Structure 1
Amino acid sequence: MSTTLKSHADVVIIGGGIVGASIAYHLTKIGITDVTLLERKQLTCGTTWHAAGLIGQLRGSRRITELAKYTSDLLYELERETGQATGFKQNGSISVALNHERLEELKRGASMAKNFGLEVEVITPSEIKAMWPLLDLNGVVGGVFLPKDGQANPTDITQAFAKGARMRGATIREHIKVEKILVENGRAVGVRTNEGEIRANTVVLAAGMWSRELAADVGVTIPLHAAEHFYVVTDQVAGIPSNLPVVRVPDECTYYKEDAGKLLIGAFEPVAKPWGMNGISENFCFDALPDDFDHFSPILEDAMGRVPVLETTGINTFFNGPESFTPDDRYLLGETVEVKDLFVACGFNSIGIQSSGGAGKVLAEWIRDRRAPVDLVDVDVRRMHSFQNNKTYLHDRTVETLGLLYAMHWPFRQYETARGVRKSPFYDRLISAGAVMGEVAGWERPNWYAPNGVEPKYEYSWGKQNWFEHSAKECLAVKNDVALFDQTSFAKFILEGKDALSVLNYVSVSNLDVAIGKIVYTQWLNESGGIEADLTITRLAEDRFMIVTAGATQTRDFAWLKRHIPDGAHCFLIDITSGLPMLGIMGPKSRALLEKVSGADLSNEAFPFGTSQEIEIGYSKVRASRITYVGELGWEIYIPAEFAHNVFDTIVEAGKAFGLQFAGMHAMNSCRTEKGYRHWGHDIVIEDTPLEAGLGFCIAWDKPGGFIGKEVLVKQKAAGVLTKRLVQVMLLDNSKLMYHEEPIWLGDKIVGSISSGMYGHRLDASLGMGYFHNEEGVTADWLANNQFEVEIAWERFPIKVSLVPFYDPKNELIKS
């Protein structure tokens, strides 16, 4: 082994791009100085060196925006601290709309930016022209200006991060190739390099487009794929101002920035070119990919029309380089589920420069504390599923994901590529019934049903889309008759063994020591009292429990529970999702229908709410659980996979006499919003406690042994007042729709934001829910004695608010 290579470090970082350097910098900043960063060639040589260097702050969620804003705020400080220039120029950015739908998207984003504390202005075409005189205004209807955005030099920022890390003791080694991550007993313990091994307490994988292969070698899922990214740099443009804002024209897929008296024109075209399917050359270092002028020429033609000076300006550089993209266009951060002490930071989808500071900061804190410092659900690597590591899947999805950065971010927009990955046994039958499928975690799920004569296809808008009236009929069937939901995508686990009860009781806020057949709705908390999971647990036997959670959180929730099974515990966790399809039979006629097909007594006395029994339907024995996510009388029917078709056909045939209708996930979302049922990832996340979320009824305060996070909740309860609470919201103007992160105003002060919104067809009202904040307490009196408004697309609208659900607040319907 080389004498120049350390044998041990607290943290080893693989990858010397801007993110790896930022992690090293931030680790040393919080006192973790025994850090070694290894780069296979030279710092920045993969993707960082050729990035366009745009520093934009506004992203699609609060936390990711905050991380980008932190990067922007850090750059001046970084330059002062290290003496290394970053090239940061805070010249602002303009996003231009060429149609009114795009302008609404930009205005909704501008409202959201206020909610995040960003400076933002909605501007007119003439104001755009004044800021950017080179722009042709043909078709321009307006735009948004963020004055604190800008541009920087990615190579210089990386060198500044590296210098700052070295100044506090970090070791940065170039030309050291990591050949393998070392794993022992399920933990990362170091790396093997071309110069020998380095042992470590923590390994961080920040190797960009090389990350997937390094992770796959030790059984870890890191789904990302490189794509070609094109831009051109012109010759000198006479008279071009040096302080021009960055301009984005998403309807033409383009962005423009001034670059030392030249113009850089880049694009996120709708049909991208995946790259690196056959691996990446061992010698890849500061490499450009072959030109493809035919691919880029449509973009350039639009650009010459938008910026006429380009017609008489030569092209100095035509550049094509690879960047990594993930299946959902969000980066990957955090500790992996498969290997402890292995952290990742990669797949930045062309926002790595602007995200680098914030991502490095929170990952450093995550490494120190071994838990996420803030809500990072959007980018947490645990959201990914093992099937997404499939090379063909990644290639096909990457064709679309690059372009989605500038595509219209429609509500309910569905991916068009890499579809049909996971299908329930009922898929073909539902398609024949007019199902229009959406995709979550690879599952094809009916979102709505197109009646005969209606094309089963989305027509997107910011208002009531083409499926609105059809979904309304499904909701009314849930209210008045009976509806069938395909809920197969819900994840199901079995935990069994003589220690299963004690494990679940410590992980869950509720008491699981209940009668066999009892269903318990509960949450799993972290040590700060925040909600890590929201699910139901059914006691099947003294030592056997079934856990049901959302399909999207299958990987995350399974890993959370597995990590909390103590060493030596007699306890076994099994994922049975694939073998147990599930139907929801919901509505006031559900009892009569299921009694007809089963012959069982489903009365309140024989089958109370919140209990589960085995019954017979058709030729199968199934598990029927009396529980609901839509707020009506109903049952969830769990069916062994090989009997699925027979059970489905039996229910559907008998259902004709009861007015049975198929209903989709949009209807379910509508109904659950009316009923105030929370959605994990929106209405409840790891920074929200059950008390703040209105879920205090789930907490078993006095159960033996306590539960994770109890101490925090005890203190919060003892304080006697909650300064933050989840509140139900109803718009008085039914023509407007809320979706996510719309600001809530009290006078001239933002006091909250919408966590999720949906139209409630049983109430014929536009609904949402969100967290309200008040230092003196969010109480029923405070809510009743004030007038609140919600801001949608730069306009404010009055709302009605309530701490209890607007629909069936006393739970009379579900217990009928």
Structure 2
Amino acid sequence: MPKIVVIGAGIVGTSLADELTARGATDVTVVDRGPLFATGGSTSHAPGLVFQTNPSKTMTAFARYTVEKFCALSHPDGWAFNQVGGLEVATTPERWADLHRKAGWAQAWGIEGRLLSADECAALHPLVDRDRLLGGFHTPTDGLAKAVRAAEAQARRAMARGATFLPHTEVLGIAEKAGRVAGVQTSDGVLAADVVVCAAGFWGAELAKRVGLVLPLVPMAHQYARTGQIAPLVGRNTERTEAGLPILRHQDADLYFREHVDRIGIGSYCHRPMPVDMSTLMADTAGESMPSMLPFTDEDFAPAWREAAGLIPALEDSKVEEAFNGIFSFTPDGFSIMGEHRDLAGFWVAEAVWVTHSAGVAKATAEWILDGTTEVDVSECDLYRFEDVARSPEFVMTTSSQAFVEVYDVIHPHQFRSDLRGLRTSPFHQRHVESGAHFYEGGGWERPAWFEANAGLLTDLDVPERDDWSARFWSPIAVAEARHTRERVAMYDMTPLTRYEVSGPGAAAFLQRMTTNNIDKSVGSVTYTLLLDQKGGIRSDLTVARLGPATFQVGANSPRDFDWLERHRPDDVVLRDITGGTCCVGVWGPLARDMVQPLCPDDLSHSGFRYFRALRTYLGAIPVTMLRVSYVGELGWEIYASAEYGGALWDLLHDAGRAHGVIAAGRVALNSLRIEKGYRSWGTDMTTEHRPAAVGLDFAVRMDKGDFVGRAALEQAPLPLNRLRSIVFDEPDAVVLGKEPVYLAGDCAGYVTSAGFSPTIGRTVAYAWLPTGTQDGEAVTVDYRGTRHTATVHSEPVVDPDMSRIRR
């Protein structure tokens, strides 16, 4: 077992020490600049609310494990977790509708919860003004964590197994040797270590800078106040029990509440973002009880107090008696940051973690360090999920501030940030603007969702009307674009697809070892394959084109793929991200060959250029690489060129297509077409929690090709309990957006991953995880924000099962 040093004895560091030692790693030392266990960090003042339900399955799993673990902790001073339950109330129709959506997440992720009427809310929490409420959502297993007690209880367990805790130990630097950590430099000398974990809370980003690592997080101040005595609470609680009413969230006003015996604690996000200047932190917090507490700013709390008293009338007879602006971390996307430094082996981070998710993050980090992989998919929290632009100081500050403002907002799943747009654009961007593109952002790229120029295609198309929620960030034009692709031909901007060049003498052997399919084939071959982790979970899916004996173009999904390949890359292989220097147009539809062949000197017939082959050629005077693949299930190609040819390439293709009715189509149409054609999307339909057999991707695994990462796990894998299935909704106007619970015979049996309206069959088609024994033709029910829709399990693909359209 490695010698491990954890920096930070807050809730994350103590949880991690407990998890590591429980797995046999007894040589664990935890250091902290403060005393034990009220160290002075965010844990020391955390209000301790643990609401488990989250739109993220991963974050919900982290919170659920935290609750399970904390419920079993004991401390001589009293409880570590008080399972009083949670109550979220709605005072607006929009919030009430969103609580129905949240109730669906709870069902999908296995959290007990129930929607309540206004009367039931008032009965459960008598302090609230029943007349203000439309209803609420109650989760009985949520509750209050006594954060310092929970930290100490876990630390004591770790110490009983051999761990050491060192208070008042300032970390001055990280010792390195031959590209690995060697220890932690302190004022008392160097603590030797094979593994160092930075769990320093909002100090973590400053510490990481010392080893050349950017942690995209911003320390933010958040207001918390305690009232004077509240008459209705007198005699309800004792000093030892402290609270008995459910923890309460009034998200319409950006507020939460908890009891402190006969007083109420009020947390507020109802104020401007207050980023913390770490260079002046000690001076700014001078006079406060700890360096994670800034002086309270009364003027920022005034609106919060008015809203709080409106919901809880008893507050009108009280006032704020003690308050502070507490510091904790925000990230651009609201997720934690976990992982190992790629350029300094053995240096790990577990940062931007709230008490809510602390034990879950610690468990996953311990698994990752000791076993090389995690039980729960952590891609949303991966240190290397961020594109280069997202690590810039301006981006981190701007987006983290937006994340603070939106922490309690009702966020649509297709809603994207408004600031710092237009940072990454394809060479076709101006043409998209001229065609009235509606853009969304992904990975920093501006991506056209649909084009107003195609509105005329709606004249003979009957698209069912959508409810207000599902109609946001969507247009029926996208359905028309999808239909046009099936009937004629369309051009799709595929430039944002991540592309790597893998080259060198060892390139073929490297990709053979890293992926599941056989890629060591002839030059010009294109192979769909998977990246697995050691337990056989799907890290990503790739499209690999062999462009030369030792040169491959790899279509990937995210910076995590580059990180994974780079960590395993041998010295005789060169890995380059070529995305920004290239562009790509997808030309697909039954008339694609009629449109493109006149531009190309090579034979583009089915016999001359077969499916899943690559060709380096010219279109007009422009050098291109064409891949005969199709994410929409139609005849056509992904056409790549160097970025400087992009504008000319788009115009050349568009002009050639005029006679064939070519249109530019957006990503909403692309998504609908790929779902009806049976194509998966990594990160949405499948993650590391799923093996190929469960996802229907066995065809991309060649067990006879030799060893590859994850092979041994696949050989020993049991039959999957659940499988990804296509479902088709019975009614044309039924809509789902993803993450809705799916019921079989009245019981929640799975959840929707992604969905789109099929232009071919005129109904919504979705993917859903369902029990393995579920048969084609079985009836299911899906809960969409409180409305039940019926659907039928369908064989795959729903459209063109014999692949005749794509192999014309």
Distance 1:466 1:376 in 2: 28
Distance 1:27 1:667 in 2: 47
Counterparts of 1:661-810 in structure 2, within 5 Å, are: 661-703=663-705, 705-716=706-717, 723-774=721-772, 778=773, 782-784=774-776, 786-810=778-802
2:386 maps to 384
SS in 1 for 2:779: coil
Asked whether 1:564 is paired with 2:568, we answer yes
Distance 1:277 1:636 in 2: 48
Deviations 1:556-586 (A, max 9, x none): 11121222234xx522212111111222222
* 8 Å contact kept, 1:538–1:547: yes
Counterparts of 1:173-252 in structure 2, within 5 Å, are: 173-240=166-233, 241-242=236-237, 243-252=244-253
2:334 maps to 329
Q: Quick one: which amino acid aligns to residue 250 of structure 2?
A: V
Query: Against the structure 1 CA distance between its residues 452 and 714, is the aligned structure 2 distance closer, same or farther, given a 3 Å change threshold?
Result: closer
Deviations 1:220-245 (A, max 9, x none): 23211112211221111012244221
Asked whether 1:464 is paired with 2:471, we answer yes
Q: Quick one: which amino acid aligns to residue 377 of structure 1?
A: S
Counterparts of 1:134-149 in structure 2, within 5 Å, are: 134-149=127-142
Which one is further off, 611-620 or 690-699?
611-620
Distance 1:655 1:379 in 2: 43
Distance 2:768 2:344 in 1: 36
Shift in Å, 1:602: 1.7
Query: Against the structure 1 CA distance between its residues 377 and 287, is the aligned structure 2 distance closer, same or farther, given a 3 Å change threshold?
Result: closer
Q: Quick one: which amino acid aligns to residue 512 of structure 1?
A: I
1:15 maps to 8
Q: Quick one: which amino acid aligns to residue 135 of structure 1?
A: V
Counterparts of 1:17-166 in structure 2, within 5 Å, are: 17-42=10-35, 43=37, 44-79=39-74, 83=76, 85-166=78-159
Shift in Å, 1:95: 0.9
Deviations 1:503-550 (A, max 9, x none): 111211111121211110111122322211101000011111110112
Match of 2:543 among 526, 531, 536: 536
Deviations 1:429-453 (A, max 9, x none): 3223222222222222222233499
Q: Quick one: which amino acid aligns to residue 650 of structure 1?
A: L
* 8 Å contact kept, 2:500–2:575: yes
Asked whether 1:526 is paired with 2:527, we answer no
Which one is further off, 293-302 or 520-529?
293-302
Deviations 1:704-727 (A, max 9, x none): x232222343455xx7x6543221
SS in 2 for 1:691: helix
Counterparts of 1:630-669 in structure 2, within 5 Å, are: 630-669=632-671
Shift in Å, 1:193: 2.1
Unaligned runs of 5+ in 1: 1-7
Query: Against the structure 1 CA distance between its residues 644 and 515, is the aligned structure 2 distance closer, same or farther, given a 3 Å change threshold?
Result: same
Match of 2:524 among 511, 517, 520: 517
Shift in Å, 1:785: 6.6
SS in 2 for 1:463: helix
Distance 1:470 1:115 in 2: 31
Shift in Å, 1:666: 1.7
Shift in Å, 1:288: 2.4
Shift in Å, 1:283: 9.1
Distance 2:149 2:720 in 1: 46
Query: Against the structure 1 CA distance between its residues 734 and 380, is the aligned structure 2 distance closer, same or farther, given a 3 Å change threshold?
Result: farther
Q: Quick one: which amino acid aligns to residue 379 of structure 2?
A: V
Shift in Å, 1:461: 4.4
1:269 maps to 270
Distance 2:433 2:270 in 1: 31
* 8 Å contact kept, 1:121–1:146: yes
SS in 1 for 2:196: strand
Shift in Å, 1:86: 4.2
Deviations 1:176-234 (A, max 9, x none): 22222233343333222232222211111111122222223323232111122112211
SS in 2 for 1:78: coil
Asked whether 1:260 is paired with 2:298, we answer no
Shift in Å, 1:362: 2.0
* 8 Å contact kept, 2:729–2:791: yes
Which one is further off, 223-232 or 181-190?
181-190
Query: Against the structure 1 CA distance between its residues 287 and 495, is the aligned structure 2 distance closer, same or farther, given a 3 Å change threshold?
Result: closer
* 8 Å contact kept, 1:188–1:201: yes
* 8 Å contact kept, 1:726–1:803: no
Distance 1:293 1:590 in 2: 65
2:323 maps to 318
Deviations 1:662-692 (A, max 9, x none): 2222221111111111111121211212121
SS in 1 for 2:172: strand
Query: Against the structure 1 CA distance between its residues 651 and 743, is the aligned structure 2 distance closer, same or farther, given a 3 Å change threshold?
Result: same
Query: Against the structure 1 CA distance between its residues 664 and 194, is the aligned structure 2 distance closer, same or farther, given a 3 Å change threshold?
Result: farther
Asked whether 1:346 is paired with 2:351, we answer yes
Shift in Å, 1:24: 1.0
1:426 maps to 428
Shift in Å, 1:812: 1.2
Distance 1:436 1:795 in 2: 29
Shift in Å, 1:462: 2.8
* 8 Å contact kept, 1:410–1:461: no
Structure 1 vs Structure 2 CA RMSD: 2.4
2:441 maps to 439
What is the total number of aligned residue pairs between the two structures? 785
Asked whether 1:492 is paired with 2:499, we answer yes
Q: Quick one: which amino acid aligns to residue 751 of structure 2?
A: S
* 8 Å contact kept, 1:474–1:663: yes
Distance 1:157 1:372 in 2: 23
* 8 Å contact kept, 2:2–2:194: yes
With structure 1 as the length reference, what TM-score do the two structures score?
0.91
1:4 maps to none
2:489 maps to 482
Distance 2:446 2:187 in 1: 45
Distance 1:676 1:324 in 2: 40
Q: Quick one: which amino acid aligns to residue 754 of structure 1?
A: V
SS in 2 for 1:621: strand
Q: Quick one: which amino acid aligns to residue 232 of structure 2?
A: G
Match of 1:362 among 347, 361, 364: 364
SS in 2 for 1:378: helix
Distance 1:32 1:641 in 2: 50
Which one is further off, 338-347 or 706-715?
706-715
Distance 2:110 2:455 in 1: 48
Query: Against the structure 1 CA distance between its residues 290 and 428, is the aligned structure 2 distance closer, same or farther, given a 3 Å change threshold?
Result: farther
SS in 2 for 1:274: coil
Q: Quick one: which amino acid aligns to residue 694 of structure 1?
A: G
2:461 maps to none
* 8 Å contact kept, 2:490–2:663: yes
Deviations 1:95-117 (A, max 9, x none): 11223332232122212212333
* 8 Å contact kept, 2:777–2:794: no
Distance 2:681 2:384 in 1: 18
Unaligned runs of 5+ in 2: 238-243, 457-465
SS in 2 for 1:462: helix
Q: Quick one: which amino acid aligns to residue 530 of structure 2?
A: Q
Distance 1:515 1:84 in 2: 70
SS in 2 for 1:324: strand
